[in-house]
Amino acid sequence: MKIEFLLNGEAVTVDGNSPTRTLLDYLREECGLTGTKEGCNEGDCGACSIMITDDDGTKALNACILFLPQLHGKSVRTVEGLAAPDGTLHPVQSEMIENHGSQCGFCTPGFIMSMAAAHQNSETNHDDVLAGNLCRCTGYVPIIRAARAAEKFAKPKHLQINKLPVTKTIQSERVFVPKTSDELADWYIKNPDATLIGGATDVGLWINKDLCDLSSIAFIGQIDELRGIEISDSGMAIGASVTLSQLHKAVAKKYASLGELVRRYGSTQVRNAATIGGNIANGSPIGDGPPALIALGAQLYLRRGDDFRNMALEDYFIDYGKQDRKIGEFIIGIAIPEQPNNLKCYKITKRFDQDISTLCGCFNITRHSGKITSARIAFGGMAETPKRATSVEIALIGKPWTQDTITAAVTKFSTDYQPISDVRASAAYRAQTAQNLLQRYFDETFGHATNVLEVTP
């Protein structure tokens, strides 16, 4: 299995490696590029951040959960290759020195690479960009100052090289990197026990933390048909391999609350890798994507060989760890029907950024002439699967949009959900919070202040 990519501007060919060897291990053990650090080894701390450039542009990713086959045809930059060939430092490197943005230095290469990717993309929301990079000694003020100071400098020309012209499908006894969904469909029928990997933000932890040995793998991130977003009068069609970063750009204007929910999904590095198809396919009861999409009435599209089918997304989730997916079948995309924007998504966590939801409630309620004409409410973290609050919906539809209606409807949450207690929250907390979120949705429609992050005198 030969993998070809650019490493700091030079073409390299990697052969004979395990398909689940991470870029982090390869850089440190084979290349002597030890600037990329191992901190958490699960994509949380950002010490391993590197820069990838391909047809989708430049992005920061976590090398600790990025497998070598995912790099085929791409350009990889590490902190050692960021300066110009004549030794001129990248603007973010120079400004980190000028602004005293480093003490122990362990986290600094990861910060530098995240900042360099943001500089390349003219991104100036540095608090968001650096939410996935942890510093335990310097403090963030001088780092943010450095990022702001670097904004005025031009993008270095030597970083414009973006990929190798490789088109060949990679296939070996254990690994398959298809270029088309037809190739994947044919291979998956013959290898139904294989693991399909999109961004590896979940599977990466299986390898690094659980030491799983995957016998057969397909990396599906290079299938163009699964990476598109189409917007039309009938709605939005989203490919399974669309990353959370790409999804955010597509939905933020139309569905602002969903855009904010996606923005809080992990870090920039995680969103640059994680796919919406993977978020759905793993069937997690606390995944943030499904509740919002269910509230929007999304349809799920699947393929098995030459057979295609679709279903309401809520019907895909059967029980904990069990989904309505046939052997050899895979998700190809989702569709959101065109509709007015009545969606509000509320992600409840202990830490605001980069945290797993205690519960996530999504409300899509339509009103006309003072009465509720339709309601779709879905929660994650309240049941063994993402699940609609059908009893609450029935209690709302046809009723006037008044406090009395809300007061009566919230009592129906106990019919729809029997939440559990765990390390994130008690069952009683979840039950009460679900009720409170419907009240919050109601209050917001009248312009009442509900956001605790907004402080006014």
Residue ranges per structural domain of the chain: 1-166, 227-445
Q: Which residue has the tokens 């106990």?
A: 414
C-alpha dist (Å) from residue 148 to 61, 122, 144, 298: 21, 11, 6, 40
Residue 114 dihedral angles phi and psi, to the nearest 5°: -65, -40
Domain 1-166 has CATH 3.10.20.30: yes
Dist CA 387 CA 314 (whole Å): 7
pLDDT reported for residue 451: 83
Q: Residue 271: what are its φ and ψ, rounded to 5°? A: -65, -30
pLDDT at 217: 95
State which residues of the chain have pLDDT below 50: none
Q: Which of 423, 456, 276 is nearest to 356 (CA)?
A: 423
Rounded Cα gap, residues 33 and 77, in angstroms: 11
Three state DSSP letters for 260-309: HHHHCCCCHHHHCCCEHHHHHHCCCCCCCHHHHHHHCCCEEEEEECCEEE
Q: Which pLDDT does position 215 carry in this prediction? A: 86
pLDDT of residue 163: 67
CA-to-CA distance for 346 and 324, rounded, in angstroms? 27
Domain 227-445 superfamily per CATH: CO dehydrogenase flavoprotein, C-terminal domain (3.30.390.50)
* pLDDT score for 455: 61
Give the pLDDT confidence of 385-431 residue by residue, as tens digits.
Answer: 999 999 999 999 999 999 999 999 999 999 999 999 999 999 999 99
Quick one: tokens of 337? 């029907």
Write out pLDDT tens, residues 298-346.
999 999 999 999 999 999 999 999 999 999 999 999 999 999 999 999 9
| pLDDT computed for residue 456 by the predictor | 61
